[in-house]
Structure 1
């Protein structure tokens, strides 16, 4: 290897120290994460800067901040280190096994995914799954996650989005609420309390418009998760606009009811999202194939 080639290929210890300090914004926190001293982190980063001939951090007595070059370098190095970690994980685990770290939307996970997951476990006993809840999109580079269930558009930066299913929502409410407000047609929802999801507060407005009604839909209770919306509907606090797959048992048992005529297809959908550097990881590939087939089977059943 020539001198120029060595200059362009810093050691992984230098790169790991840089990536950790850049992500955490602190040499001391990077030292704790990598089980090194702060001085060792500082020396590794200084050696890296000398090797590539660029200043990556601005240093003050109080803190360290990335230079413009450091910000650019961090994006590339984070991706490169993740690729190395994935390749290493693939080679040290057997071909069919390994660990899958999955971020899930709480209600989608508990109401649809978890009841389905036994078939995946039976077919793939050597893959261990660890679940982590999330509500909003996040940066895969900052989370120890292999894949995530996402509701929205197929536009997650730096990731591959695999379509799972569309979402159709319906007005869902308790029989007691129906009796109290004498609900017999769609127009009757103009007089009932409405239940909202904080991330979709315009859904009721769209629903009224699609059904040819003008209505101020801003009133009502607001919740962060569909599970809480469903509980509020069960308690007779208002009418929810939500997918039936989240309240299947309640609808079958008659403790909730719905108006099928008021169905509304959402503009967003559910996706399995995987960072590009994880797409070739065997547990991810296996899980992707299974969940796509399961989602298709669910809607065909």
Structure 2
């Protein structure tokens, strides 16, 4: 072991020697390794100098192994192949246990992350690679095993299934100081509201909600505008105003009292969260089944 530690810097040179000895051609070895022919020649020369043996005979147009080179190749090349096989097996084993899961930032922050510890306790051998993205990833190109996406329509493909339907309703923190008794939709016209701005669809906004209640929306300039769902919920949690949000994302906060829902106001149905799972990965089925169980359980 002490000798190997002393010579560890020669491992790169030995890899180059193996490629050159198999083809007896520095140009082909260079192409295989993705380096220049000059680099191959230099690394072989460094190895020869380090061990004090000529490994190749260099002719005008080709190279060939010397007797010492043949003996070295018989000893070294099978060992290098064994190391390569061991690395490949370990990587394969790691990839078999690693599951790539993609969800939106809101779903990750408010629903999935607080519950992942439960999955880890149940399935400690499955490593989760969580890919948080609000853009639609190419499932195949990104090697995604499980995906949850919120959409008005089912994503293209027959592997997507409806997981759970979102409902929205007015929510607020106990820290919020209301101006009314907060027991009718009409009262909300006098409260400080948190408005979503930017790319969100009209159905997620207060203007649509008031219209569905048969009420004239209040002036938006009297509220607070935020450009992400996460910022809106955080503002609500801090008591800065009343937000329009709902299940399943805020279930935990409603259950522990961090947020409250107005009484006597029916939730408004929104769109589905859709689920994709890789049919060729058992771990994807395990995670998807756990996900569905969690959604059906009490928060």
Question: Does the 8 A contact of 1:97 with 1:124 survive in 2?
Answer: no
Give 3-state SS (helix, strand or coil) of 1:295's partner. Answer: helix
Partner Cα distance (2:293, 2:226) in 1 = 32
- Aligned CA-pair RMSD: 3.6
Q: 1:262 aligns with which of 255, 260, 265?
A: 265
**1:175–1:214 Cα change, 3 Å:** same
Q: TM-score, normalised by structure 2?
A: 0.58
Could you tell me how far 1:175 is from its partner in structure 2? 4.4
Q: What is the match of residue 217 of structure 2?
A: 215
Structure 1 spans left out of the alignment, 5+ residues: 1-34, 38-87
Give 3-state SS (helix, strand or coil) of 1:270's partner. Answer: strand
The aligned length equals 212
Could you tell me how far 1:105 is from its partner in structure 2? 1.8
Partner Cα distance (1:142, 1:100) in 2 = 15
Partner Cα distance (2:289, 2:213) in 1 = 37
Question: Does the 8 A contact of 1:148 with 1:273 survive in 2?
Answer: yes
* Larger deviation, residues 288-297 vs 193-202: 193-202
Question: Does the 8 A contact of 2:183 with 2:262 survive in 1?
Answer: no
Could you tell me how far 1:242 is from its partner in structure 2? 0.6
Q: Deviation digits for residues 107-156 of structure 1, max 9, x if unmatched?
A: 32232222322333233222110112112323224434222211124521
Partner Cα distance (2:287, 2:144) in 1 = 14
Question: Does the 8 A contact of 1:99 with 1:129 survive in 2?
Answer: yes
Partner Cα distance (1:285, 1:125) in 2 = 16
Determine which structure has more spread, i.e. the larger CA radius of gyration: 2
Q: TM-score, normalised by structure 1?
A: 0.58
Could you tell me how far 1:101 is from its partner in structure 2? 0.7
Question: Does the 8 A contact of 2:167 with 2:268 survive in 1?
Answer: yes
Structure 2 spans left out of the alignment, 5+ residues: 1-32, 36-87
**1:272–1:179 Cα change, 3 Å:** same
Q: What is the match of residue 234 of structure 2?
A: 231
Question: Does the 8 A contact of 1:101 with 1:145 survive in 2?
Answer: yes
Give 3-state SS (helix, strand or coil) of 1:156's partner. Answer: coil
Partner Cα distance (1:99, 1:237) in 2 = 41
